[in-house]
Structure 1
Amino acid sequence: MTLVGGAFASMTLAVFAATPAWAQDRMGQPTPGGIDLQPAASPLKHEAIWFHNVILMPAITLITLLVLGLIIWIVVRYNAKSNPVPARWSHNTMIEVIWTVLPVLILVVISLFSFRLLFAYNDMPDPDLTVKVTGNQWNWAYEYPDQGVAEYISTMMPEGEAPPQLYRLAANEPMVVPVGKTVRVLVTAADVIHAFAMPAFGLKTDAIPGRVNETWFRAERTGSFYGQCSELCGVDHAFMPIQINVVTEAEFAAWVAAKGGSMTPKVEATAAAAVPTEIPALTAASATPSAAEPAPAAPAAQ
């Protein structure tokens, strides 16, 4: 009966998980009582939710119902009272082929959609902005190389300063990005393995010392979105929140200026400085060889 109870619990969880969340807000915050994925705020998360709700959940639900039905049928049909004399055979070739081939086919179908989602994560559009993220014990450091914003440290807001529902989520120096722009995120670590995770954007990328991993997102709306380190990185692992503020382009430009940066990429600024503003005119004196310079010798007669 334990197996029956476990199967029934799994089926119940699968059915509830496929329903919309209760009282989920739209600002990238976890909600008490919520049982669904956080609402999507980027294209990648939309695809991840579709893969979960349309491919995985129906497959899991059907498999759970099938297993539950088989267990109930076996318990009712083949208990000692209903079947006092059990059969003596132990193999059925057809059943063994079915339960070997059918799971393989299910996994192949799931893998096709899984690979498509994986390719979407790796097929990053041309980025409008690059942010370097470094995980430290125990905080995050952000740097904007294209805008010349130097690395700054983001730590958890104290309990008395953060709203109660955002304690251990709100940060004193959040990452700031413009809405509707493709943001390339370069993720690394300075000491141990961390993980940069932002549920509303569908991000979860390992931060590994000596290695730079790459991911991307494009925020669809303004607001504040919250995540946390998702790798057990030490005693203060629970105190490494990630806050991303998505703002308008004008607000982002003002924030960059306040940080001492510029909206003109460094590469363009360097190239512009290297080009002279005026090209000196070619004079006759500059075109004529100097008198001090000897005239080229005539070729020797053959």
Structure 2
Amino acid sequence: MILALLVASAAILWYGRRSSRALAAQVAAKLVPGADGIIPGAEPISLDASGSRAVLLLHGFGDTPQTLRYVAAALHADGYTVRAPLLPGHGRTLAAFRATRAKQWIAAAREAYEEMCLAHGPSPVVGLSMGGALAIVLAAETPTMPALALIAPYVSMPRRARFVARFHPVWSLITPYFRSGGDRSIHDETERARNRAYGVLTPALLFELSRVVRRVQVSLPRVKSPTLVIHGLNDERIPPDAAAREYARLGASDKRLIWLDQGGHVLTVDHGRDRVIELVKDWLARHPAGVAAHSPARPAVT
């Protein structure tokens, strides 16, 4: 009996690791970095404008600034200097992604924001998914941030993901790499094909993402900047009830929650993205830099 269990366990480990190697090889063949070490299409976005207004855009976990290109172009056309950095480990190789940690993503976002504020003064931040989580951390640290726009912010983790993250050393032995299910995050087939996300995770990376979420849980009540939250009713990453619950914990007195019935999780490139862009542009226009951040509370709307 014991021998049979040992054989079965060995077979599971062998199959899991073999499948993981094949999955990693598929990603490596599909997403080949260029001479600069960055996957073509995953580069940071840097758009300069003649005016003083500027905005920082932060992309999601395992993804790239490519998901924010429409928002970046629209804000630049409105006169904003736009920066969308490529977070550490992203848009390069799976090995580079696997080697990064939550503290590096937070530090990179903080450095990018500090550089922007030095050049342009207090500036708004727009964050998508984990980028929204990073934006919350920045806002909690920066009372002078004039506005915050969070698009499908990754502010809570589903139970199954928490389980894998908690026991990541064990899961790493069984399945070093596994599919993230990111293909469900973009409903628009053309945009899904253009996406430069890895589409693959490791249990340890999921643990690092859980660290970001824990940091966000502490930061939410400390956010005082006017905050717009845009969330999809069809988001498969963060269910609407979880999004509403975390929105209620936001400390900002001026906040607004908008529900969209189009698109999945990556709303910035999916069906309905024009509406997302309109909402972000309007929110930033209503809360320009230099205006007091504390306005009367506004109710959430649908």
TM-score, normalised relative to structure 2? 0.25
Q: Which structure dedicates a bigger proportion of its chain to strand?
A: 1
Structure showing greater relative contact order (alpha-carbon pairs closer than 8 Å, 6 or more residues apart) = 2
Q: Which has the larger radius of gyration?
A: 1
TM-score, normalised relative to structure 1? 0.25
Q: Which structure dedicates a bigger proportion of its chain to helix?
A: 2
